[in-house]
């Protein structure tokens, strides 16, 4: 991470500050972010989702990972299937309740870990290579893992992040779908 980016992330004092910085990273205004490859922007597959993801971050859902739904040949020629999914952190209980209510209405899956407590469901496969699960969202992150991945944040911002709800929202089926993105659009009012 560049010294300038390191200073920006260290200057965040609140969860809202983190959401704004993540939105700016998604939009290309910041080159690096904690818990991601230095100097790398969002994956190419996320391109058309960037405006929505930036709005979601500014609304109080700090996204840390996302993927569109897909079903087809991958880079290696094998069939790859993805469920549309997003995961991250929420500190505002009112926002969390709205997210979960809209998620249930849309028929999406939700995995929520409450700070130091892991939910009954710990991770949900979202990507398959052939018939083999390849990626999961909604896996519980221990406090030490969050602190390690997001090192360099101010004490105040890191404390909010460690105590936040860990949230994953997942389409029930693989393949292209707009249900998750429509739900998030409704949530942000975009």
Please give the tally of structural domains in the chain.
1
pLDDT in tens, 141-164: 998 999 999 989 999 999 999 999
Range of the domain at 16: 3-188
Do the strands 132-137 and 124-129 form a parallel or antiparallel pair, or are they unpaired?
antiparallel
Virtual CA dihedral for 66, 32, 20, 166, nearest 10 degrees? 40
pLDDT in tens, 33-71: 887 777 777 888 888 999 999 999 999 999 999 999 999
pLDDT in tens, 76-108: 889 999 999 999 999 999 999 999 999 999 999
């Amino acid at each position: 991470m560049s010294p300038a980016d390191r200073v920006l992330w260290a200057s965040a004092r609140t969860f809202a500050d983190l959401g704004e910085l993540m939105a700016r990273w998604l939009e290309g205004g910041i080159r690096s972010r904690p818990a991601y490859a230095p100097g790398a922007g969002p994956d190419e597959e996320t391109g058309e989702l960037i405006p929505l993801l930036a709005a979601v971050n500014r609304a109080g859902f700090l996204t840390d990972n996302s993927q569109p739904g897909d079903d087809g040949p991958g880079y290696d020629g094998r069939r790859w299937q993805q469920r549309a999914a997003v995961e991250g952190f929420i500190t505002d209980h009112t926002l969390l309740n709205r997210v979960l209510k809209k998620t249930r209405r849309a028929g999406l899956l939700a995995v929520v870990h409450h700070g130091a407590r892991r939910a009954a469901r710990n991770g949900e496969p979202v990507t398959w290579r052939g018939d083999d699960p390849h990626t999961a969202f909604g896996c519980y992150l221990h406090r030490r893992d969050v602190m390690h991945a997001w090192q360099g944040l101010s004490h105040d911002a890191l404390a909010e992040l460690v105590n936040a709800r860990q949230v994953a929202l997942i389409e029930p089926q693989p393949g292209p779908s707009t249900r998750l993105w429509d739900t998030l659009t409704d949530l942000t009012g975009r």
